[in-house]
């Protein structure tokens, strides 16, 4: 933010384009042979970018000089600046990137289990977040801005290239509220699911939302193929309101209506609700009763994904493993499935809800990482 930033070129970013969109830009004047050549170059370019991990257009040696020159005329290839890649003891790796305007974002690479060759990438959809959930580190930052589609796709391209792996799954559970940045999130998803490049299955893209009701309704109306999961926070409306200010805009009942519509889109399959287990706040008998009531009145079936609170600030306390197990045991008789999730990367403050403060608040460590590149 001190030195003047290089201006972004005005050509569209390569990472924001599907193979068809790129082929159209490469063009060729409508003749069938030229159109086929454009499509072939587009596909080869995306292979070089996403499968070979080429860092620049110049590095796409497989294309040949003339085709690289043509490419550089019609697209730009901006990259996020990677400023940290920190492995955790549990096998996950936390990445931090600097955007062209200086804002910082984070992504996490998570093996499905220790030693697994299957990976999930957790991406950010915004720099910071406007939702201000009280239990979330990103919520304490406020919103800097929403990300462009290429900035979402580039997180996945860089994380997988750096680790030398491919991602089978993608979750929008990093910084930001994805449904407050719909256009970029859906364009990024379109790029990442196409058969050229990252090739992530649409059903393997999970969008987690704090509950932006109109955006959920638009998702349902458009019958988008991705998976939505919903951050419940708490099932007691007053507690949810205290934890998640978004409830001032969209009430609990309206949210339940929209989730029911989403469940119908998924033909009645279980919907995942994410529940943050906070000691002395969301782990009481009243919370058990509220969940029983929710199960009785909700017009959809749900699975409760219980995430033990990862320490953020000093307003709330993290429960012990034993406390979480004892509390979730009380939910077993209620008739809905319960899954306990211990989020990866906790030893690096890269667990759910912890993205956004450690790296930002520690300039010394940040500059050490930069020197070490
Ligand atoms: N804005 C989106 C996605 C980011 S949060 C959303 O709200 O869903 C991703 C998940 O992490 C949410 O389910 C959220 O409830 C959970 N989470 C946030 N802070 C947490 C914390 N400190 N400990 C445990 N889980 C947390």
For position 206, which CATH number holds? 3.20.20.70
Among 74, 105, 125, residue at a domain's last position? 74
Q: Does ligand 1 lie within 6 Å of residue 281's CB atom?
A: no
Look at ligand 1, atom 7, and give the residue with the nearest C-alpha.
210
Q: What proportion of the chain, given as a percentage, has pLDDT over 90?
A: 81
How much is the pLDDT for 117? Answer: 85
How much is the pLDDT for 85? Answer: 94
Structural domain count of the chain: 2
Quote the mean pLDDT of the chain.
Answer: 91
pTM: predicted TM-score of the whole model, two decimal places? 0.92
Does residue 2 lie within any of the structural domains? no
Q: Which residues of the chain have pLDDT under 50?
A: 1, 361-373
Does residue 256 lie within any of the structural domains? yes
How much is the pLDDT for 236? Answer: 96
Q: Does ligand 1 lie within 6 Å of residue 210's CB atom?
A: yes
How much is the pLDDT for 42? Answer: 97
Is 133 annotated in the active site?
A: no
Residues 183 and 223 in one domain: yes
Does residue 9 lie within any of the structural domains? no
Ligand 1, pocket-test mutation among 127, 133, 215, 308, most atoms within 8 A of CB? 133
Does residue 8 lie within any of the structural domains? no
SS3 labels along the chain: CCCCCCCCCCCCEHHHCCHHHHHHHHCCCCCHHHHHHHHHHHHHHHHHHHCCCCCCCCCCHHHCHHHHHHHHHHCECCCCEEEEEEECCCCCEEEEEECCCCCEEEEEEEECCCCCCCEEEECCCEEECCCCCCCCCHHHCCEEEECCHHHHHHHHHHHHHHHCCCEEEEEECCCCCHHHCHHHHHHHHHHHHCCCCCCCCHHHEEEEECCCHHHHHHHHHCCCCCEEEEEEECCCHHHHHHHCHHHHCCCHHHHHHHHHHHHHHCCCCCEEEEEEECECCCCCHHHHHHHHHHHHHCCCCEEEEEEECCCCCCCCECCCHHHHHHHHHCCHHHCCCEEECCCCCHHHCCCCCCCCCCCCCCHHHHHHHHHCC
Residues 70 and 86 in one domain: no
Is 73 annotated in the active site?
A: no
Residue 240's domain spans which residues? 81-370
């Amino acid at each position: 933010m001190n030195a003047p930033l290089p201006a972004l070129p005005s050509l569209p970013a390569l990472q924001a384009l599907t193979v068809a969109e790129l082929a159209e830009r490469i063009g060729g004047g409508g003749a069938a042979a030229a159109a086929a050549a454009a499509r072939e170059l587009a596909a080869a370019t995306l292979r070089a970018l996403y499968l070979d991990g080429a860092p620049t257009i110049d590095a796409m040696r497989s294309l040949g000089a003339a085709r690289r020159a043509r490419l550089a005329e019609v697209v730009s290839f901006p990259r996020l600046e990677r400023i940290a890649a920190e492995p955790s003891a549990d096998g996950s790796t936390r990445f931090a990137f600097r955007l062209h305007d200086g804002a910082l974002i984070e992504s996490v690479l998570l093996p499905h289990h220790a030693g697994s060759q299957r990976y999930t990438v957790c991406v950010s959809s915004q720099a910071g977040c406007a939702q201000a959930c009280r239990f979330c580190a990103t919520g304490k930052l406020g919103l800097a801005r929403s990300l462009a589609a290429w900035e979402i796709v580039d997180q996945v391209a860089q994380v997988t290239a750096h680790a030398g792996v491919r991602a089978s799954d993608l979750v929008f559970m990093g910084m930001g509220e994805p449904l407050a940045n719909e256009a970029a999130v859906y364009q990024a998803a379109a790029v990442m699911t196409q058969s050229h490049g990252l090739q992530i299955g649409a059903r393997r893209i999970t969008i987690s939302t704090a509950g932006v009701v109109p955006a959920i309704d638009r998702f349902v109306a458009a019958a988008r193929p991705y998976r939505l999961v919903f951050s419940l926070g708490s099932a007691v409306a007053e507690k949810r309101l205290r934890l998640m200010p978004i409830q001032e805009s969209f009430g609990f009942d309206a949210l339940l209506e929209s989730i029911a519509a989403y469940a119908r889109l998924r033909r009645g399959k279980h919907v995942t609700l994410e529940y943050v287990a906070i000691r002395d706040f969301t782990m009481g008998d009243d919370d058990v009763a509220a969940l029983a009531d929710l199960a009785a009145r909700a017009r959809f079936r749900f699975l409760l994904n219980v995430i033990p609170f990862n320490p953020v600030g000093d307003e709330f306390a993290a429960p012990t493993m034993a406390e979480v197990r004892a509390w979730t045991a009380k939910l077993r008789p209620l008739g809905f499935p319960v899954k306990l999730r211990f989020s990866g990367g906790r030893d690096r403050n890269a667990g759910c809800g912890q993205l956004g403060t450690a790296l930002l608040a520690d300039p010394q460590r940040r500059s050490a990482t930069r020197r070490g590149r």
